[in-house]
Amino acid sequence: MSEPHSIVFVIDDDASIRDALRSLIRSVGLRVELFGSVQQFLQQKRPEVPSCLVLDIRLPGTGGLDFQRQLADANIHIPIIFITGHGDIPMSVRAMKAGAVEFLTKPFRDQDLLDAIQFALERDHVRRLQEAEIATLRERFESLTPREREVLALVVSGRPNKQIAAEIGTSETTAKVHRGQLMRKMGADSLADLVRMAEKIGIPTTKS
């Protein structure tokens, strides 16, 4: 049901909880890595596989909620499942708003946690695929000449060839050549495909 190489990271300062969680998560065949503190987690090199984080809210040093924000600031998009000894509503609202997958109050039902982990890993997997695609597209976009990029921007914003030629100051034929070239380089089968790609890498697709 899940990727065999997925990893669940657990950060909790309570060793007994850590041990219990490791046993529980391993029992469903997932890889588990345990950390006593945020610092330990940050020091560890994380493999590029779908992963999620089971995070205790009350942690020594940096608290769980603060750490969540730190990760977001550092552009680390790992899905987080919060567990807490005594959760209150404002705290859970804050956590969910900041993008947490689940907020579980101890003692929690084992199935709730495992479902949340499953959901988080799926989400991370999708996110990783998307990121990979965007990276490929960016690579392709980088291979374009400056003139082709210019034409690309005009094409995706819906300009006909004639207008593109007029705007970049060349003949229509030349514009068509550029267009064909960039379609090929970007690996786009159609204009709609190209527009979708442009949206993904953040090129404006409406007339400006």
Partner 1 sequence: MATTRMFVDQQLLLTIFLVVLLWSLYARLRKQDFFRWWAWAWTAFGGYLCFGALALYLAPAWTILRGSLILTALVCGFLQIPLLAFGASTLRGPIKPRQVWLRAGIWAALVASVLIFAAALAYRDRPMVSFALRTLPRTLALTASLFFCAWVFLQKWHRTGSVAAVITGGFCSLYAFDQMFYSSVYLSQLVSRVPVVSPVLLLSQPLFAIDLVAECGISVGIVLLLVEEYQRAEVALVKTDARAEAVAESNVALQAEITERNRMEEALRESEDRYRDLVEHSQDLLCTHDLAGKLLSCNPAPARVLGYEVAELLAISMRDIIAPEYREKFDEYLARMKTVGADKGQMAVITRTGERRIWDYDNTLRVEGVPFPIVRGMAHDITERAQAERELRASEERFRQLAENIHEVFYLRDVPSHRLLYVSLAYEQVWGRPCQSLYAAPESYLDAIHPEDREAAERSFASHVPFVHEYRIIRPDGSVRWILDRAFPVRNKKGQVYRLAGIAEDITERKRAEQALQESQATLARVTRIAAMGELTASIAHEINQPLAAVVANGSASLRWLAIQPPNLDEAREALTRVVGDANRASDVIARIRALLKKAPPPLEQLDANKEIREVLALTASELLKGGVTVQTELAADLPVVLGDRVQLQQVILNLVMNGIDAMSTIAGRPRDLLIKSVGSPEHVLIQVQDSGSGLDPEDAECIFEPFFTTKPQGIGMGLSISRSIVEAHGGRLWATPGSLHGAIFQFTLPRADSSHERAA
Binding site for partner 1 (CB under 8 A): 14, 16-17, 19-21, 23-24, 26-28, 58, 83, 85-86, 106-110, 113
CB 141 within 8 A of CB 186: yes
Smallest distance, Å, CB 17 to partner 1? 5
Smallest distance, Å, CB 59 to partner 1? 13
Q: Which of 55, 111, 61 is nearest to 83 (CA)?
A: 55
User: E strands, the chain, where?
Assistant: 7-11, 31-35, 51-56, 80-84, 102-105
Task: Output the DSSP codes for 143-177.
Answer: HS-HHHHHHHHHHHTT--HHHHHHHHTS-HHHHHH
56 vs 148, which CB is nearer to partner 1?
Answer: 56
Smallest distance, Å, CB 203 to partner 1? 48
5 vs 26, which CB is nearer to partner 1?
Answer: 26
38 vs 57, which CB is nearer to partner 1?
Answer: 57
54 vs 137, which CB is nearer to partner 1?
Answer: 54
CB 128 within 8 A of CB 175: no
The contacts of residue 135 (CB under 8 Å, 6+ apart) are none
CB 7 within 8 A of CB 33: yes
CB 34 within 8 A of CB 14: no
35 vs 141, which CB is nearer to partner 1?
Answer: 35
Smallest distance, Å, CB 19 to partner 1? 6
**HEC string for 106-132:** CCCCHHHHHHHHHHHHHHHHHHHHHHH
Query: In which element (H, E) is residue 195 found?
Result: helix 191-200
In whole angstroms, give the CA distance from residue 108 to residue 103: 10
Smallest distance, Å, CB 29 to partner 1? 9
23 vs 44, which CB is nearer to partner 1?
Answer: 23
Smallest distance, Å, CB 107 to partner 1? 4
